[in-house]
Amino acid sequence: MRAFALIALFASFAVQAAPASEASVEQLLTVTRAEALMDGIKANIEPMFNQTFEESMRGQPMTAQQKQWAQKFQTSVRALMQEELAWDKLKPQYIQIYRESFEQEEIDGMLAFYASPAGQAMINKMPVVMQKSMQLSQRMMQSMMGKMKTLVEETAKEAMEAMEAEEAKEAKEAQAGQAKK
């Protein structure tokens, strides 16, 4: 009986999935063009940052010195993003995340898929899908923000009207109380 238990114990260790190797994860990142994808993300982040910055400054007159500081700030932020989102810095972190998240068999399956025509189509078309998805999200957020602004204004108006009505009621009651005296 003990021999059977030992065999079962050893068999369970043999069945456990192998962790993903660093080399296979690197190969997956290469096949999926992860570095180029990250470059595309960085390229999209910069215009969004610039637009947000410009919108925050809209309507505010700036002196020549303030404009110079704003340009210096934008340049510094751009350099910081390039440094922090550099592939050489991100790649080891991606490898660690993949190795912690996937087993070797799963990485092998992904490699087989991404090497296939369907996988290559996904790799080639996904940046466009992501860009269109981001644009859709931005449009939806703009629409929602406009509706939220209207909702805030309506709610504030209702609250002000209720407060004014309450104050008028209290004033009327106070006058009635003084008239009884």
| Overall size of the chain counted in residues | 181
CA neighbours closer than 13 Å in the CB half-sphere of residue 172: 6
* DSSP assigned state of 103: B
The rounded distance, in Å, linking the Cα atoms of 169 and 175 is: 10
Match 């899908």 to its residue by tokens: 129
How many CA within 13 A on the CB side of residue 9?
Answer: 6
pLDDT in tens, 52-73: 777 777 778 888 898 898 889 8
- Asked if residue 49 lies in contact with residue 84, where contact means CB atoms within 8 angstroms, the answer is no
Give the contacts of 21 (CB within 8 A, at least 6 positions apart).
99, 104, 107
Say how far apart CA 137 and CA 54 lie, in whole Å.
20
Q: What average pLDDT score do residues 107-136 get?
A: 93
- Indicate the pLDDT class of residue 11, thresholds 50, 70 and 90: very low
pLDDT confidence tier of residue 14, bands split at 50, 70 and 90: very low
Which pair of structure tokens corresponds to residue 129? Answer: 């899908």
Is 48 in contact with 131 (CB distance < 8 Å)? no
Q: How far is CA 166 from CA 20, 123, 153, 157, 160, in A?
A: 68, 63, 20, 14, 10
Q: Is 102 helix (H, G, I), strand (E, B) or coil?
A: coil
Position with higher pLDDT, 19 vs 143:
19
pLDDT in tens, 105-119: 999 999 999 999 999
Evaluate if residue 7 carries a pLDDT over 70: no
**Residue extents of the structural domains in the chain:** 19-115
Coil/strand/helix, residue 19: strand
